[in-house]
Amino acid sequence: MSFSITILGCSSSIPTNDRNPSGQIINYHDKLYLIDCAEGTQLQLRRYVGRIQRLHAVFISHLHGDHFFGLVGLVSTLHLLGRNKVLHIYGPQGLEEIIRLQLSYTHTELIYELIFHLTNPEVSELIFDEGELQVTTIPLDHRIPTHGFLFREKPGLRKIKKEIVLSEKIPYSEYENLKLGADYITADGTVIPNSSLTVSPPIPRSYAYCSDTRYTESIIPLIKDVDILYHEATFLKELSEQATLKYHSTAEQAAQIALLSGAKKLIIGHYSARYDDLNPLLEEAKSIFPETELAQDGLTMTVRKKLVTE
């Protein structure tokens, strides 16, 4: 079961020669989920992912242009390419109005259905629950209402040890209970513990996208022990006053959040266009949280399955 993230843009509000503003693709079991959609995102999608009709849902973190100015263009391209599947879009107040107004004034009558789901950036809420995947919002501290997104697998069922279950002659009708963790009691009253009949499922995987935000420890309980944390790092710490004033974070602050939340890995991005060389941002973050990597346009990371050792 694949679970990967591709960075489509890692610049802050102004694009540079090799950095587009925000956009990321989550590929989960071959379905594509887009997070943020800056101007140019559809080109990046074409360049780094392809097959954009596999786009299943779109999640917009807030209504600054560097996070959604590409959305109407993408919606229009899907229409021109003949999409016939519904597209679900999750985002804050105003997003639906803006997109529908653009479609209306351009006399674009879509041949597929757009369904908007209004989010509330004030609270953390479960906004998507389909198959094995759930998405929860992460309220952030930014100049306008903003949230991030936590993509997390649901815990799987325990796996049956076939040979043992067969040799104990356990009826098939009991298998579901065993998968849920129940012990088995034989006809003569002997208890066979579940742990000898099943093995634990893999640990659920997770990815947190923390979009534009000031340093805020309020997000830590929401992203506890996440496998990969993306956190914005617009500035170096020498500009921390500016970061606070503009409601952004420094690389050091992103690393501090990764450390306190117990993340396995940190990806920083949303760099100010003033930085040509990103290594000072990387070094600053690594001095606090060594497992840090720089987001770069086109970078793909896989969230790997981990088995429980018993």
Q: Which is nearer to Zn ion, 83 or 270 (CB)?
A: 270
Q: Which is nearer to Zn ion, 212 or 284 (CB)?
A: 212
Q: Which is nearer to Zn ion, 198 or 234 (CB)?
A: 234
64 binds Zn ion (CB under 5 A): yes
Burial class (CB in 10 A: 0-12, 13-18, 19+), 202: middle
In angstroms, what is the minimal distance from the CB of 291 to Zn ion? 24
Please check whether residue 146 is in contact with residue 121, taking contact to mean a CB–CB distance below 8 angstroms: yes
Q: Which of 39, 66, 252, 297 binds Zn ion (CB under 5 A)?
A: 66
In angstroms, what is the minimal distance from the CB of 51 to Zn ion? 27
Q: Which is nearer to Zn ion, 111 or 144 (CB)?
A: 144
Backbone angles phi, psi at 263, to 5 degrees: -60, 150
In angstroms, what is the minimal distance from the CB of 254 to Zn ion? 14
Instruction: Mark the segment that binds Zn ion (CB under 5 A) among 32-40, 47-55, 58-66, 201-209.
Output: 58-66
36 binds Zn ion (CB under 5 A): no
Instruction: Mark the segment that binds Zn ion (CB under 5 A) among 57-65, 125-133, 219-227, 299-307.
Output: 57-65
Binding mask 169-208 for Zn ion (x = CB under 5 A): ----------------------------------------
39 binds Zn ion (CB under 5 A): no
Instruction: Mark the segment that binds Zn ion (CB under 5 A) among 35-43, 59-67, 160-168, 178-186.
Output: 59-67
Catalytic residue among 66, 212, 227, 297, which? 66
Please check whether residue 267 is in contact with residue 229, taking contact to mean a CB–CB distance below 8 angstroms: yes
Q: Which of 153, 212, 227, 252 binds Zn ion (CB under 5 A)?
A: 212
In angstroms, what is the minimal distance from the CB of 68 to Zn ion? 10
Q: Which is nearer to Zn ion, 153 or 212 (CB)?
A: 212
In angstroms, what is the minimal distance from the CB of 95 to Zn ion? 14
Instruction: Mark the segment that binds Zn ion (CB under 5 A) among 36-44, 62-70, 180-188, 196-204.
Output: 62-70
In angstroms, what is the minimal distance from the CB of 143 to Zn ion? 7
CA-derived radius of gyration, the chain: 22
Backbone angles phi, psi at 41, to 5 degrees: -65, -35
Q: Which is nearer to Zn ion, 78 or 138 (CB)?
A: 138
Write a three-state SS string for the chain. CCEEEEEEECECCCCECCECECEEEEEECCEEEEEEECCCHHHHHHHHCCCHHHEEEEECCCCCHHHHCCHHHHHHHHHHCCCCCCEEEEECCCHHHHHHHHHHHCCCCCCCCEEEEECCCCCCCEEEEECCEEEEEEECCCCCCCEEEEEEECCCCCEECHHHHHHCCCCHHHHHHHHCCCCEECCCCCEECHHHHEECCCECCEEEEECCCCCCHHHHHHHCCCCEEEEECCECHHHHHHHHHCCCCEHHHHHHHHHHHCCCEEEEECECCCCCCCHHHHHHHHCCCCCEEECCCCCEEECCCECCCC
Instruction: Mark the segment that binds Zn ion (CB under 5 A) among 61-69, 110-118, 153-161, 196-204.
Output: 61-69
Q: Is there a catalytic annotation at residue 66?
A: yes
In angstroms, what is the minimal distance from the CB of 267 to Zn ion? 16
* Integer Cα distance of 78 and 111 in angstroms: 9
Residues known to be catalytic:
66
Using CB under 5 A, list all residues that contact Zn ion.
64, 66, 212
